[in-house]
Amino acid sequence: MKFLVNPNKFNEIADYMFKPVLFLSIILFTLGLLFSFYLSPDDYQQGSTVRIMYVHVPSAWLALLTYAIMTFYSIAALAFRIPFGFIFNTAVAPIGAVFTLICIISGSLWGKPMWGTWWVWDARLTSVAILFVIYLIIIFMNLSFENRNVREKVVAIFILVGSVNLPIVKFSVDWWNTLHQPATISKLSKPSIDPSMLTPLIIMTFAFMMIGIAIAILRIKTEIITRKTNLS
């Protein structure tokens, strides 16, 4: 597992990981889209709009997951002086932002037919919007500092401070009585979702994850090369 902390090892692994991951993501996407459009049933209440879930939920999960991994890498980078954490943070923040954006857009497309409005100010939606703004601030910070030494550490500190938002996003549906429905899938109990809908959801999640990893590999490699040549 050394390639997760060592840039050189990462480069070696990434070289022959990239194509399989990309291939896997294409297969999973075709499979997932096939499942979610043709092989899964309509909801008895929501009708066909339930299919938005297969984009909405995976992107929401991955937006949170990306931020959580960034938090772990920030701790590793600041406390244990692992510079790969800084590389990872710089490279992966835009991917998380895009996932959050997909989640927000698909959510409001889903909200219009279901709740009758594009946007409501409930706790889940607000906290996800804040998560998006935090991602944007991370990206802008990466662009606006001139000194790389300061920039990467300040961004890591900001990620750590901003991570207080994560539990708020996760538990907002449980803490407050909101319009957004509570989680239907959790580890501890049996999921309250039908297997015929669960299958495409899980396939789509893995497809999103794979495409995320593929882009992340590309971006991290670019970042490593930029640092080696001292371009920034």
Residues that bind other proteins in the complex, under the rule CB under 8 A:
78, 126, 130, 133-134, 137, 140-141, 143-151, 153-154, 157-158, 160-161, 164, 230
The smaller minimum CB distance to other proteins, of residues 149 and 189, is found at 149
The smaller minimum CB distance to other proteins, of residues 1 and 143, is found at 143
* CB 167 to other proteins: min, Å: 12
CB-CB contact of 77 with 85 (8 Å): yes
Give the chain's end-to-end CA distance (angstroms, integer). Answer: 28
CA atoms lying within 13 Å on the CB side of residue 190: 2
The smaller minimum CB distance to other proteins, of residues 156 and 214, is found at 156
The smaller minimum CB distance to other proteins, of residues 123 and 207, is found at 123
The smaller minimum CB distance to other proteins, of residues 110 and 132, is found at 132
* CB 127 to other proteins: min, Å: 9
Give the distance, in angstroms, between the CA of residue 191 and the centroid of all CA atoms in the same chain.
22
Per the structure block, which two tokens stand in for 14?
Answer: 């990434």
* CB 210 to other proteins: min, Å: 31
Burial (0-12, 13-18, 19+ Cβ within 10 Å), 99:
buried
* CB 228 to other proteins: min, Å: 8
* CB 184 to other proteins: min, Å: 27
